[in-house]
Amino acid sequence: MDLNGKSVLVTGGTGSFGKKFVETVLLKFPGIKRLVVFSRDELKQFEMGQLFPQRPGGQMRYFIGDVRDAERLKKACEGTDVIIHAAALKQVPAAEYNPMEAIKTNILGAENVINAALANGVKHVVALSTDKAAAPINLYGATKLCSDKLFVAANNIRGNRDIKFSVVRYGNVLGSRGSVVPFFLAKRKDGVLPITHVEMTRFNISLEEGVNMVLHALERHWGGEIFVPKIPSYKITDVAEAVGPDCRKDIVGIRPGEKIHEEMITEADSFFTVDLGKYYAILPQVPFWSKEEYYKATNCKEVEPGFKYNSGTNTDWLTVSELRKLIRKHVDPSFDLE
């Protein structure tokens, strides 16, 4: 989608994704009309404003607000064409310990985004999800599954409005705040890396790939799809070896709410999943458009019944050497153990 001349709002815009999204969009679409960062933390907005300055009549806008605050969100969305919903409470242990806080932000906040979009004539909404929303065993994943369902179902209540709601679901972002690579890099100086479980695996995606996936969804979505990327997996033991080959690896046990392997498409999802080439898409069980026309326009193929997309059974794996190259590229340019 050409975002030149458009107004775009990003909830949670000061996070890792939001900053990369803003950077990418300003480069690709210099004629964008307005790019609004909507988030809670004034310090993070101040710091982001040093990188992407706000000027009178310029493209950048910074709105202090919380997705829990429906009225503030509606005000921020006035005149908006596109909403990217990236705001979430995403730390698994924190959500387990503070369940209602996660529910208020991840579920009720999602509903507020939907209502703000419907009230303001927004044309496109893409919400960010997580692999933990597939067959969730922790509260964070459960809240994001609820959020996914809300955004898919929002297409039912659009009436005659020209608006589409869709979701993108992907795995761990290499180098994002709170993720394993920065954690291991910090722990390396102690000479000990804590391993939760020797068999643990995760999907891996870069921030750039995540941003490109959102832009792909904006360009191609019909409304109601959950887009899933085809990305590699890694073993947690290989990440530890990549970061600290000389460190002692202590097995500390999995944290509450963690899985050994993550899923992005479950066996039950297979009956509604299509292969789009670079991505999969889980289609709405009751489509809002002609399924035949969708298949013809996208040239997609149905996956086999019983198909599932699991980080442990993935056919694409990152090696220790490849992980080191990715760490240098996306996390720490000075990192070098080769």
Active-site annotation, residues: 132
Q: Which of 231, 235, 236 is nearest to 183 (CA)?
A: 236
User: Are 151 and 271 in contact, with CB atoms under 8 Å apart?
Assistant: no
Per the structure block, which two tokens stand in for 259?
């899985």
- Nearest in space to 85 (alpha carbons), one of 58, 54, 107: 107
Beta strands 172-173; 192-195: pairing state: unpaired
**Which residue bears the tokens 């909404």?**
125
99 by Cβ neighbours in 10 Å (0-12 / 13-18 / 19+) ranks as middle
CA atoms within 13 A on the CB side of 242: 22
Residue pair 159/250 in contact (Cβ under 8 Å)? The answer is: no
Shortest CA distance to 98 belongs to which of 50, 142, 136, 139? 139
Strand partners, 282: 226, 273
Q: Are strands 279-282 and 226-229 parallel, antiparallel or unpaired?
A: antiparallel
